[in-house]
Amino acid sequence: MAVLPMHYIDKDPILRKKARKVKDLQSPEIQRLIDDMIESMYHYRGVGIAANQVGSLHRIAIIQRPDDPEPLVLLNLELTRKEGEREVVEGCLSMPGWQGQILRAERVWGQALDRHGKRIRFKGETDLLAQALEHECDHLDGKLYIDYIRDKADLYEVEVGQEEDGEGEVAPEPGPRAVEAASKQETLR
């Protein structure tokens, strides 16, 4: 397994491209990419990672919440239905040093294949899983959480390397520095 270089916003148009469905999911190339994505997600300390972020346009995402014993490998992830609306704080590995407050769905439905081709169904998922599914599915569609920022004050800087404060791909809670930054109404440069 290998850690793949992270692709950052503004430097790489691949973050704005739509990933293509994986057809030959048992191929050594795809299986190796999955392993490398898992390793990279651990290295960059994310709750999830999408293939675009490591320079691939295969429709693959990995999610592992803090309490999950194993990473969820999601090939050809699609969301089919969303319900409700809620405020969440979010970060992204491709945009270190920033967090934003946006609206996400309360419940999401969708499907994917695991690395062996077995179908995984999501039925009205909530909380961090719902948020991560939306965030990663967006990556695969060339979208970023900043697309949903409604007011520039809702996007603020946090100290890079404060992952334990919640920064990283999908932050469940704003860290103390994020709250401090937000209270100062720091604006987007």
Identify which range of 8-16, 74-82, 105-113, 165-173 contacts Ni ion by CB under 5 A.
Answer: 165-173
How many residues of this chain bind Ni ion (CB under 5 A)?
Answer: 2
- Residue found by looking up tokens 């994020």 in the block: 178
Position of minimal CB gap to Ni ion: 92
**Is residue 140 within a helix (H) or strand (E), and if so which, with residue range?**
helix 127-140
Q: Which of residues 82-101 bind Ni ion (CB under 5 A)?
A: 92
- Which backbone phi and psi does 67 adopt, to 5 degrees? -95, 0
Q: Is 83 a catalytic residue?
A: no
Question: Is there binding between residue 155 and Ni ion (CB under 5 A)?
Answer: no
Annotated catalytic residue, options 90, 125, 134, 136: 136
User: Of 87, 70, 85, 76, whose CA–CA distance to 23 is shortest?
Assistant: 76
Which of 125, 165, 167, 169 is in the footprint of Ni ion by CB under 5 A? 169
CA dist 72 and 63 (Å) reads: 5
CA dist 136 and 65 (Å) reads: 13
**Residues with a known catalytic role:** 136
Give the interface with Ni ion as residue ranges (CB under 5 A): 92, 169
